[in-house]
Amino acid sequence: MIRILTYKEHPRGKEIWDRYLYLAAFILPFPTAEVLGTDTLEVDGKTITAENLCQESGKRPRNRTKKYMNLLKDNKVVGGLAPSQTLWEQDYLLAAKLIWSANKALYAYLYQVNDVNVEPMGPPPIQRKNLRDLLTAKMDALPTELKRIGEVVGEDCELLLRNVFRYESFSDNKHAVKMLEAMDVNVCPYCNRLYTMTLDGNSGKSRPQFDHYKSKSKYPYFAVSLMNLVPSCGLCNQSKHDGDEEVLYPYSDEMGLDVLFHTKPTTGLNYLTGSVGALDEFSVALDIVNGNLPESLKDKIQNSDKVFNLTELYNKHKDYILYLYWKNYVFTDEYLEELYEEFPEVFQSFEDTKSMVYLMDISQKQWGRWSLGKLTHDIDQEIKETMK
Ligand SMILES: [Zn+2]
């Protein structure tokens, strides 16, 4: 519903990028030089490069738990006739083998290999640029090769999520929480109803969830990809789950002024004055008002409405709409104009005076700052039209 900024557009983009890459290099079973390349990161006052990441972050080869040892043995990374490898190489080789058996296209995309049908016996060299694209490309602008990889489901998916693209380790890490804090997404971009602030960057006590725009149970290889992680409220994250409907992608799409909330009278018009008891006189609708939108976008809008139950949920906010009508009935534009003229030292502009009525700035770029920001804007527009 509401567009959020990508790291490239964000005022704190460098911080988001640095923390993200640091965390990705820390979590993923690929050599740090392949994830970081020549990037130099600034994280908590430390300068991090591929050369010093392990030392500075404390990155170690994975713990040899019983379960992990069994996986190494089952995949003939250790024991049997396999050549002995260092612990690091074992981790890299296991990752390659799991990817190889899960999806050959993914394997060919990530590694430099001559024959994708031959099982790797040692850690194959990485296609660095491809790995970077996988981690940072926008989900609506994926390179063709990446699009062709397709779904990985069932046990293969589980294995990749647990051992290669380890979302749980990623999301539990304090740098993920700090990254969320830097992203500064106040209100869920899918519904614009629930606040999603990060309370404590260290403990992550209250924080938004990351919705995976492309579900991690079908596309485990995007589980820790930056542009696949959408800070969102728990309700929307849950509603979306693994559904196949393509919803609006908050890093690119928005409803903006093309799709508006409005009221539809059902039994009366007293609600237009905010009259108490007029709650049942109207319903709330969300309609596409720009007929020139591309069909694909219209589909996404309708899917978002359906998947996140937007129309239904916004009909639960009728009392708020009634209150908006009441406020406008009491605080007319003429009255606000007077206030503005009388207290120029208090109000910067007429719009500023108006913000006082709603207790929020309803300009489009502020919608994402406030719960129900868009609804408030749209109903304000409707009131203007109605009162003409
Ligand atoms: Zn939401």
Query: How far is the centre of ligand 1, averaged over its atoms, from the C-alpha of 188 (Å)?
Result: 5
Q: Residue 387: what pLDDT?
A: 75
List b or e across 40-71, with b for residues whose CB sees 16 or more CB atoms inside 10 angstroms. Answer: ebebeeeebebeebeebbeeeebeeeeebeeb
Query: How far is the centre of ligand 1, averaged over its atoms, from the C-alpha of 235 (Å)?
Result: 6
Where does the pLDDT of residue 85 fall: very low under 50, low under 70, confident under 90, or very high at 90 and above? confident
Mean pLDDT of the chain: 93
Q: Residue 140: what pLDDT?
A: 96
Q: Residue 80: what pLDDT?
A: 67
Where does the pLDDT of residue 83 fall: very low under 50, low under 70, confident under 90, or very high at 90 and above? low
User: Which amino acid belongs to residue 199?
Assistant: L
Query: How far is the centre of ligand 1, averaged over its atoms, from the C-alpha of 27 (Å)?
Result: 28
Query: How far is the centre of ligand 1, averaged over its atoms, from the C-alpha of 166 (Å)?
Result: 25
Where does the pLDDT of residue 272 fall: very low under 50, low under 70, confident under 90, or very high at 90 and above? confident
Query: How far is the centre of ligand 1, averaged over its atoms, from the C-alpha of 234 (Å)?
Result: 7
More confident residue, 117 or 201: 117
Query: How far is the centre of ligand 1, averaged over its atoms, from the C-alpha of 388 (Å)?
Result: 34
Query: How far is the centre of ligand 1, averaged over its atoms, from the C-alpha of 28 (Å)?
Result: 29
Range of lowest pLDDT (159-163, 324-328, 352-356)? 352-356
Query: How far is the centre of ligand 1, averaged over its atoms, from the C-alpha of 208 (Å)?
Result: 10
Query: How far is the centre of ligand 1, averaged over its atoms, from the C-alpha of 298 (Å)?
Result: 20
Q: Residue 161: what pLDDT?
A: 98
Rounded Cα distance between 384 and 333, Å, is: 10
| Contact yes or no for 31/44 (Cβ under 8 A) | no
On whether the pTM is more than 0.75, the answer is yes
Q: Residue 111: what pLDDT?
A: 98
Q: Residue 156: what pLDDT?
A: 98
User: pLDDT tens for residues 101-155?
Assistant: 999 999 999 999 999 999 999 999 999 999 999 999 999 999 999 999 999 999 9
Q: Residue 109: what pLDDT?
A: 98
Q: Residue 79: what pLDDT?
A: 81
Query: How far is the centre of ligand 1, averaged over its atoms, from the C-alpha of 347 (Å)?
Result: 33
Query: How far is the centre of ligand 1, averaged over its atoms, from the C-alpha of 178 (Å)?
Result: 21
More confident residue, 335 or 301: 301
| Contact yes or no for 54/32 (Cβ under 8 A) | yes
Query: How far is the centre of ligand 1, averaged over its atoms, from the C-alpha of 175 (Å)?
Result: 23
Query: How far is the centre of ligand 1, averaged over its atoms, from the C-alpha of 190 (Å)?
Result: 5
Rounded Cα distance between 348 and 346, Å, is: 7
Query: How far is the centre of ligand 1, averaged over its atoms, from the C-alpha of 134 (Å)?
Result: 26
Query: How far is the centre of ligand 1, averaged over its atoms, from the C-alpha of 363 (Å)?
Result: 20
Query: How far is the centre of ligand 1, averaged over its atoms, from the C-alpha of 248 (Å)?
Result: 13
Query: How far is the centre of ligand 1, averaged over its atoms, from the C-alpha of 265 (Å)?
Result: 27
Where does the pLDDT of residue 368 fall: very low under 50, low under 70, confident under 90, or very high at 90 and above? very high
Q: Residue 359: what pLDDT?
A: 83
Question: Measured at the alpha carbon of residue 358, what is the angle toward residues 353 and 361, in degrees to the nearest 5?
Answer: 70
Q: Residue 199: what pLDDT?
A: 67
Where does the pLDDT of residue 87 fall: very low under 50, low under 70, confident under 90, or very high at 90 and above? very high
Query: How far is the centre of ligand 1, averaged over its atoms, from the C-alpha of 14 (Å)?
Result: 26
Model confidence at 202: pLDDT above 90 = no
Model confidence at 98: pLDDT above 70 = yes
Q: Residue 196: what pLDDT?
A: 84
Average pLDDT over every residue of 7-22: 97
Where does the pLDDT of residue 193 fall: very low under 50, low under 70, confident under 90, or very high at 90 and above? very high
Query: How far is the centre of ligand 1, averaged over its atoms, from the C-alpha of 211 (Å)?
Result: 10
